[in-house]
Structure 1
């Protein structure tokens, strides 16, 4: 299976969260948002599409009381 790298603008669009909120959630202990991976020799970062999808599904399950 090949995963998709999502850049910050894609993550913001997919989640409806702003940049600051994403970084605040990642900084919490434990992190409440997936952490990015370094790409392009560490000069750029991206999030795994599968981890963003799992985060979204967890929010839906949390809403539904699962």
Structure 2
């Protein structure tokens, strides 16, 4: 019997305007962080060159928590 657990929590996809609003950064800054490897990459929501993209909400939330943690650690060192 396979005892692996399957995550059945719903997956929510955020489109770019919602990501911008949630994290307080603009489009160009988000894409700059993605190029630097410091921000989650979006997933493709369709096929073809002009397919829409979206970000997984839990990855954006994790990124936000990480930024808060970094900010709090660096502010206690100052």
Residues 1-66 of structure 1: pairs in structure 2 closer than 5 A: 1-28=9-36, 31-41=37-47, 43-65=51-73
Query: If the length of structure 2 is used for normalisation, what is the TM-score?
Result: 0.77
Gapped regions of structure 1 (runs ≥ 5): none
Gapped regions of structure 2 (runs ≥ 5): 1-8
Partner Cα distance (2:64, 2:34) in 1: 15
Coordinate RMSD, CA, aligned: 1.3
> Relative to total residues, which structure has the larger strand share, 1 or 2?
1
Cα deviation, residue 40, structure 1:
2.4
Deviating above 2 A after TM superposition, structure 1's stretches of 4 or more consecutive aligned residues are: none
- Structure number with greater CO (CA < 8 Å, separation at least 6) is 1
Cα deviation, residue 3, structure 1:
1.5
> Relative to total residues, which structure has the larger helix share, 1 or 2?
1
Query: If the length of structure 1 is used for normalisation, what is the TM-score?
Result: 0.90
Structure exhibiting the larger radius of gyration computed from Cα positions: 2
